[in-house]
């Protein structure tokens, strides 16, 4: 148990340091190549920090641990939307652009809805290869859309921060990703070992320990970006990660082996959809397109209530 705790703490320290380097590199890339920070957040950071979820869910599916796949994806998305964005807003209110809400957030909601229909629609309790193809096609369509259309529409790039040379910026991104992935893995291993020691179920571990653990890179990056008032990266990281989780992770997993999901996970997918809907609605309360501190605190409280429900449900 002592070794597990050491692994957890060391991993967390590496995670935080890696997140800081990743944000520095990503902002420099946005400035050097005239990329929108939102695009960098959606693609480079959002996908990069989702690698732990991909590894856990993909391997879990290969091993036949059905609840691990959808449980990790749904749990991670709910944690991202409620806890991470909530904490980021509590640190510094997040000013969204209207186009982020009407375009990117709707993509997020659509990814959850399409995945839910394919997995649970018409009495189905799984995702076959045909469904996997649909999700992968949607993911690559989104990726092309972001890289070609979104960046042109958001050509304004803030130059408030120091910009390092391109090779150094790319090195920062690579080192940062390595740090958040390695640190996140060690944190997850420590957390899961503790959970299994306590005799937790597979679904509970996936929805709590695994989903939270694999989302620690997103947590570290978004909070660091919010602290530095880089809203595009803080928000893009979460939305990009969520879209990647549902479309790419589930799609790729189903291509190798059909993903079977227990109907018991329907409330958890619904919780993810509800969280995305709440974020959308929050944009029109009070001053528009700003996730305010009190809303961030409310989101955190809602996640804690959901977490308590999971523990009670077992």
Q: How far is CA 187 from CA 11, 60, 146, 181, 194, in A?
A: 5, 18, 32, 10, 11
CA 61 to the chain's CA centroid:
19
Q: Does any domain span residue 186? A: no
Q: Does any domain span residue 167? A: no
For 127, the 3-state DSSP assignment is strand
Mean pLDDT over all residues of the chain?
83
Q: Does any domain span residue 93? A: yes
pLDDT along the chain (314 residues), means of 10: 72 72 72 70 75 80 80 94 95 87 90 93 80 95 77 50 68 80 72 71 80 84 86 84 92 91 90 96 92 96 96 85
Residue-wise pLDDT for 160-196, tens only, equals: 445 567 777 778 878 887 877 777 677 767 766 766 7
Task: Return the pLDDT at 14.
Answer: 80
Q: Does any domain span residue 98? A: yes
Q: Does any domain span residue 56? A: yes
Q: How far is CA 24 from CA 14, 117, 229, in A?
A: 16, 39, 12
Residue-wise pLDDT for 259-291, tens only, equals: 888 888 999 999 999 999 999 999 999 889 999
Percent of the chain clearing pLDDT 90 (strictly above): 34
Q: Does any domain span residue 193? A: no
Q: Does any domain span residue 187? A: no
- State the DSSP code for 229: T
Q: How many domains does the chain have?
A: 1
CA 125 to the chain's CA centroid:
24
Q: Does any domain span residue 136? A: yes
What CATH number is given to the structural domain containing 308? Answer: 1.20.1420.30
Residue-wise pLDDT for 200-222, tens only, equals: 777 788 788 888 888 888 888 88
């Amino acid at each position: 148990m002592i070794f597990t705790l050491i692994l957890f703490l060391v991993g967390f320290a590496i995670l935080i340091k890696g997140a800081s380097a990743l944000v520095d590199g990503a902002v420099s890339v946005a400035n050097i190549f005239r990329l929108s920070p939102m695009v960098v957040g959606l693609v480079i950071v959002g996908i990069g920090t989702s690698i732990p979820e991909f590894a856990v869910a993909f391997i879990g599916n290969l091993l036949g641990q059905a609840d691990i796949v959808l449980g990790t994806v749904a749990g991670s998305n709910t944690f991202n939307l409620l806890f991470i964005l909530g904490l980021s807003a509590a640190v510094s209110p997040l000013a969204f652009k209207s186009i982020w809400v009407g375009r990117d957030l709707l993509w997020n909601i659509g990814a959850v809805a399409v995945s839910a229909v394919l997995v649970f629609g018409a009495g189905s309790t799984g995702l076959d290869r045909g469904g996997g193809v649909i999700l992968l096609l949607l993911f690559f369509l989104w990726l092309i859309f972001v890289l070609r259309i979104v960046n042109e529409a958001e050509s304004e790039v803030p130059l408030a921060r120091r910009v390092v040379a391109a090779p150094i910026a790319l090195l920062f991104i690579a080192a940062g990703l390595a740090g958040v992935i390695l640190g996140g893995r060690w944190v997850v291993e420590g957390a899961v070992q503790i959970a299994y020691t306590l005799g937790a179920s597979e679904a509970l571990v996936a929805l709590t320990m695994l989903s939270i653990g694999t989302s620690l890179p997103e947590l570290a990056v978004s909070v660091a970006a919010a602290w530095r008032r880089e809203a595009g990266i803080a928000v893009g990281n979460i939305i990009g990660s969520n879209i990647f989780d549902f479309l790419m992770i589930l799609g790729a997993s189903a291509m190798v082996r059909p993903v079977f999901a227990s109907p018991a996970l329907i409330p958890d997918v619904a919780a993810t959809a509800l969280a995305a809907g709440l974020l959308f609605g929050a944009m029109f309360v009070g001053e528009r397109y700003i996730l305010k501190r009190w809303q961030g605190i409310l989101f955190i409280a809602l996640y804690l209530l959901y977490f308590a429900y999971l523990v009670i449900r077992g």
